[in-house]
Amino acid sequence: MRLVSSSAASDGGHAPVFQCADIALLRAPLLPLDRATAATADLRGADAAALRSHVKTLTSTPEIHEALLVSSASLGDALAGHGGRITRRTAYAVSRYWLRMTTRTTPFGLLAGAAAVRFGGTAKVVLGAGHTKSAVPDMNWLLTLVERWQRDLTVLRHLRVVANDLVIVRDGRVELTFVSLAKPDDTRAPTVVSLRHSAPVRATLAAVAKPVRFPELADSLRRSFPRASGEAIDGLLRSLVDHQVLVTDLVPPSDEPDPLGYVLRILGGIPPEELPELTELRTVHEELAAYRRLAPGEGVRLWTSVTERMRRIQPSRHLIATDLRLDAHVTLPREVATEAERAADVMLKIAPPARIEQHLVDYHRDFLERYGTEQPVPLRTLLDPATGLGAPATYQQPPSHRWINPSPAPDHLRNRDELLSSLAQAAALEGSSETVLTDDLIERLDNGVRADGAPGFCDVYATLLARSCADLDAGDFRLLIHQAGADCYAGAFGRFARLLDNTDDLTSFVRQANPASGALPIQVSWRPRTSHFGLLARAPWWVPHRLSVGWFDDRSAPEALGLDDLVVTASTDWFHVFSQSLGREVAPHRGHMLNYATAPNPVRFLIDITVNQAQARTSWSWGSAAALLPFVPRVRYGRSVLSAARWLPDQSLRSTGLPFEEWADQFARWRRRWRVPRYVVMKFLDNRTRIDLDEPHHLDLLRQQLQRRPETELVETPDADSYGWLSRSGGAYVNELIFPMIPRRDTGARPETPPQRPARPVMRLRSEQQSLGHAPGGEWLYAKLYSPLAAQDTILTRYLPRLLTAVAGEVDRWFFLRYHDPESHLRLRFHGDPTALAARLLPTLRDWVDGLRQARLAGNLVLDTYHPELERYGGPAAMTAAEQVFHTDSTAVLAQLASTGDGPRVPPELTAAVNFSSIVGAFHPRHGATAAWLLARYPKDEEHHRMFRTHRSECLRLIDPGTTADPPPALALSATAAAAWKARSAAVARYGQVLRELGGSGDAWGTPGHALASLLHMHHNRLIGADSTSEARAQAMARGALQAYQDRTNALHGQAAPHPERKRENARRNG
C-alpha cells in the first residue's frame, strides 16, 4: 500500500505542545526487506529433503547462523544436531525468525539493532555492514553466582552491606514481601521472608541504615553481644544477606554498563586460591570482550566456547544477553522531528481524556476520607494494611486486601465514539482506505487538554517513509505512528544507552522535563523479582535525583532518596508525593521499559501517581465502538499517519479445526470482501511481522498465529520503496524511529482559579500516638448516623437538640458534619469524660437512634475512630481551639436552620455567604481585613458571579464588611440563633489568635489562611452539605458584596481600585 506521496506538511500555524530532542533512536532489522521473499516456500507437504533445503537456504551465511544461535539456543541445537535431520517445527521456526530479521525492528539478540540519529539541515545516511555486538552475562546467570558467593564468609568480608528499604517490622518479626529470585523456577526459594526481630537483628538493622563494611558490622555486633560467639554473629549476618534483609554491593547497580566487570572489581581483593571460580570468571569476561569485537558472522566458535564455560561455572537456561549496534550514521532534516512534534501535539489534543483506573479512583477517595487534604502520610505507613489504607486493589507485591468497586464507563465519551464509529463505517461503505483529520474534525474531537495536561515525558514510535534522502530534503516523506509511551524518562533508550557513543545530549534534554505540578523529577529503579529481566531494568540515571529500591545504595548521598523519606498528600484532584529531605514535591518515573505493574507496591504506587497526572495520552484511539469493527481506515494528519488501516479477521478464521485448504478459501473470501492488500503486518500487541498474503507459507504462518493469538490484527504496511531512504547495496531496510519529547510548559499566565493542590505541605509528621486517633472508649465518641439527605435537616432541627439536652452534662463540646461514603450520613462527634461517654452517652445515643429508625428517618449507627485533622487546623496545640469553633459553628447552624423553618427567606447560599463574612471578620478583626482576605482568596468567577448579580440588593443588605460579632439585623434570626452567632464569633477570634501565636513561635502546622478557608468550607458543609457548586456561589456572593463595598468606598475617596496582585499581597500579610 502506497503511503508515501507528495503531501503538505501538517498544520504548523502554532508552536507545538511537544519539543523533540536533537537525538532519536533508530531501530532496524539485520537484513533488508527484499530478502523476506526467501521465506516463502510452502512447507505443508514438504518432505525431509525439502525441509532441509529450505533451512539450508535461509541459514547458509555465517551471519544468519550466528544470529539464530544467539537468539535461540534450542534452535541452534536443533540446527546442529540430529545428523542433519530437520523437523517441520524447526523449519517453521527458521521461517519465523527469517521474517523477523527482515521485517521487524524490535531489537532482539542479533536479529535487529539500534543506532542514534541526529537532526540537522539535510539528510545524510551511511549504512554499513560493520555492526557492533553487545554481550553481557544474563542477569539470571550472574546473580545466581552472586547469591551463592554471598553465602561465603570469604566473600562477605570484602563487601559492604545496607538495609533493604523494603523491610518492615511487624509484631516482633522482620518481614520482606518482595524477594528477587535469581532462579525464577526454583520452587524452594522463598517469595516472602519472615524472621524473628531479635535483639541482634534489631541492632543490625540500626547499624546498616547507611552502607557499612561487613567486617565492621560483625565487630560492632560482637562488642554489643559479647556472649555470642563469632560463628553465631557471622551466621546471623549471613542469613540476613541470604534472605535479602541486607543487600550487598556485590549486586551490580542498575546503571552499570558492564555488570560482570563490576563484580570482578568488587571481588578483586580476593586471592584466586580462596575463590577458584574467579579465574574462570575473568576468562568469561575476556572472552565476551573478544566476542564483542568480532563482526556478526565471525563469533560462532567463540560463542560456543564461552557458553560452554559459563555452563560449567553455573548451569542456566539463559547465559548471555546480546544487543546489536547498527553501523549507521544518520542525520535527518530537522523537519522530520518537527513533524513528529506536530503529530504528538494533535494526538494529545484529540485523544480521549485519560481515565484513571477505578482502583486508583477508589484509593484517592478513601485517602481523602481518612486523611483529608492536609495530612502528609509516610509512604510506607500508607501502604501498610495495618497502619494505613494498604495498597490499592490489583497490587500484587504483596497482594492487596482491597477490592475494586465496579464503575460504569463514562458517558462523556459517547459522542466521540459515535463520531469515530460513523467515520470508520462510512470509509468501509465507500471503499475508502483513509480518513483525513480536517480542522473541523479536530475541533469536534478537541478534548481541551494542552501542555499543562500533557505527560511529563513522551517517546513517539514511528516509521519514517521516503523513497530517498533527496525526498527527505524536499519534505516528501511521511511518518507512520505506531505508539507513544508516556510513563518513563527516555525509557526506549534505557538498555541501549551503553551502545550509543554519547548520551549527554539526551541526558540534558531529559533534565529539562518540567512536570505541570512543578514537582522535581526523580528516577525510580527497582530490582526485579525475576533476575532474568534485570537487563531491562538497566539504564543511566537520566535525572539528578534517584530512588533505588531493593538495590544497594547510599541513601545518605544528596542525590539518593529512600522510601522512608517520602510522604503522600492529596488534593481534591489527585495525590502528591513529597521528599522530606528536599522539602519539595517529586515526580517519580522509571527510566527503562520494565513493566512497573510487577514492581514492589511502593514503586508501583509512586509511578502510578505520576503517570495518572496526565489528562490525556499522546496516542490515537478509535474508541470502544469502532475498536471492534472489522475494518477501520488509515487516519492521516498532514504528513503523519496517526493510525494505519486495520482489519480484524472473522472469528471463524481463528478456528483450530479447519483444514488449511478450507481455511485458505474462507480467508480469500473474507480478504476480497474487505479489500485487504497483499502485504500486511501481522500484529499482536507490539509484535509486528510483515507477511505476503499471496504466499501459502505466509498464510499458514498467519493461520497458526490466529490460533495461538486470536487477538492478532492485520495492519496495512508501506510498499518496499517507501523505505528507500535507509538502504545500502543489499536493499532498503524497514525502520522505526523513537522520538523523545517533553511538553513546552507555559510558565506565563495561569488560570485565575487553578485546581486545589498543595505547593508544599508543612512536614510535620504525626507521632505514633497521634496517628492512632481517638477510638471509641476514649475522650471522643464518634458516631456515623446513616440517613437520607432529605431527612437530615429534620434530624438536625427537631431531633438532635433533644439528644444534646439529654447529654448536656456529659459533653463539653461536640460538632457534626454531613458526609457520604457513598451513602449519605451525619457524623456526630462528642467530647467528654471517657467513663461518662461510654456509660451514659452511648446508651442515650442508642435510644435516640432507635427513635429515628422507628420514624423512618435514619438507618444504621456506626461507631468509628476520630482522626483530628491536625495538619489542616494548625497542629495539636491549636486543635482544642479549632474544635471549639466546630462546636460553636454546629450550634449556630442548628439555630439558623431552626429559624428558617420550611420556607427560608433568603437563598441558602446567601445565608452561607453572610456567615462567611462574619467568620472571616472574627478571624481577622483588623478594619478592612475581611474584604482583603476574601477578595484575594476567591478570585472572581464569571459563572458563579451571576448569583451575586441576581441577588445583589439582598447581598448588600445582609453582608456587612465590618467586624461586629453580632449577626446582621436584616437576617432576622431568633434570639437563640443570635446568641449562638456571637459565641461562634468569640471562638473564631480565639482560634485566630492561637494560630498567630503558634506561627510566631514556629509551632504552627500550616498557615492561618488555609485553616480559615477550611472553616468556611466546613460551615457550608454543615449549613447546606457537600455541594461544590453551591459553595462556589456562596463565595461569589460574599466576594461580590465586599467588592461592591470596596469599590464604593474607593470612589467616595477618589482612590483607584487596588491591583489584584496587591490584594493577594495584602491577604498574605493577613495569613
**Using one digit for the tens of pLDDT, what is the confidence trace for 595-607?**
999 999 999 999 9
Does the bond joining 822 to the residue before it have cis omega, within 30 degrees of 0?
yes
Q: What is the pLDDT of residue 530?
A: 85
Find cell 477508589 and name the residue: 362
Say whether pLDDT at 647 is over 70.
yes
C-alpha of 64 from chain center? 41
Distance (Å, rounded) from C-alpha 261 to C-alpha 150?
17
Q: How confident is the model at residue 657 (pLDDT cuts 50, 70, 90)?
A: confident
Distance (Å, rounded) from C-alpha 879 to C-alpha 859?
31
pLDDT in tens, 483-494: 987 778 888 898
Q: What is the pLDDT of residue 317?
A: 87
For 668-724, give the DSSP string. Answer: HHHHHHHT--SEEEEEETTEEEEEETTSHHHHHHHHHHHHH-TT-EEEE---GGGGT
Longest C-alpha distance within the chain, in Å?
108
Structural contact between residues 718 and 712, judged by C-beta atoms closer than 8 angstroms: no
**Residue 570 grid coordinates:** 492529596
Distance (Å, rounded) from C-alpha 134 to C-alpha 325?
7
pLDDT in tens, 887-902: 999 999 999 999 865 4
Distance (Å, rounded) from C-alpha 228 to C-alpha 206?
18
pLDDT in tens, 986-1029: 999 999 999 999 988 888 888 899 999 999 999 999 999 999 99
Distance (Å, rounded) from C-alpha 284 to C-alpha 301?
14
Calculate mean pLDDT across residues 348-374: 89
Distance (Å, rounded) from C-alpha 708 to C-alpha 69?
25
**Residue 543 grid coordinates:** 535525572
> Percent of the chain at pLDDT above 70?
93
**Residue 773 grid coordinates:** 486517633
Q: How confident is the model at residue 753 (pLDDT cuts 50, 70, 90)?
A: very low
Beta bridge partner(s), residue 402: none
For 372-409, give the DSSP string. Answer: TTT--EEHHHHH-TTTSS-SPTT-BTTBPS------PP
Task: Look at residues 891, 868, 883 and name the one whose alpha carbon lies nearest to residue 767.
Answer: 868
- Looking at per-residue pLDDT, the higher value among 252 and 729 belongs to 252
Task: Look at residues 100, 102, 55 and name the one whose alpha carbon lies nearest to residue 80.
Answer: 55
- Element (H or E) spanning 846, and its range? helix 842-854
**Residue 998 grid coordinates:** 503558634
Beta bridge partner(s), residue 523: 546, 589
Sheet holding 575-579, edge to edge: 377-378, 566-570, 575-579, 584-590, 520-526, 545-549, 560-561
Task: Look at residues 503, 445, 801 and name the one whose alpha carbon lies nearest to residue 635.
Answer: 445
Q: What is the pLDDT of residue 60?
A: 86
Q: What is the pLDDT of residue 6?
A: 46
- Looking at per-residue pLDDT, the higher value among 537 and 195 belongs to 195
Calculate mean pLDDT across residues 649-670: 90
pLDDT in tens, 831-887: 999 999 999 999 999 999 999 999 999 999 999 999 999 988 999 999 999 999 999
What one-character DSSP code corresponds to residue 496? Answer: G
Q: What is the pLDDT of residue 901?
A: 53
* pTM of the predicted model as reported, rounded to 2 decimal places: 0.85
**Residue 141 grid coordinates:** 546467570
User: What phi and psi, each to the nearest 5 degrees, are found at residue 533?
Assistant: -85, 10
- Element (H or E) spanning 20, and its range? strand 18-20
Q: How confident is the model at residue 408 (pLDDT cuts 50, 70, 90)?
A: low
The CATH number for 772-867, chosen from 3.30.70.100, 3.30.1120.10, 3.30.830.10, 3.30.910.20, is 3.30.70.100
Calculate mean pLDDT across residues 581-599: 92
Say whether pLDDT at 300 is over 90.
yes
* Cα Rg, the chain, nearest whole Å: 35
Beta bridge partner(s), residue 575: 570
Q: How confident is the model at residue 588 (pLDDT cuts 50, 70, 90)?
A: very high
Say whether pLDDT at 664 is over 50.
yes
Task: Look at residues 174, 120, 555, 165 and name the one whose alpha carbon lies nearest to residue 379.
Answer: 165
Q: For the chain, how many residues are written?
A: 1071
Tell me the average pLDDT of the chain.
89
Task: Look at residues 860, 834, 94, 763 and name the one whose alpha carbon lies nearest to residue 375.
Answer: 763
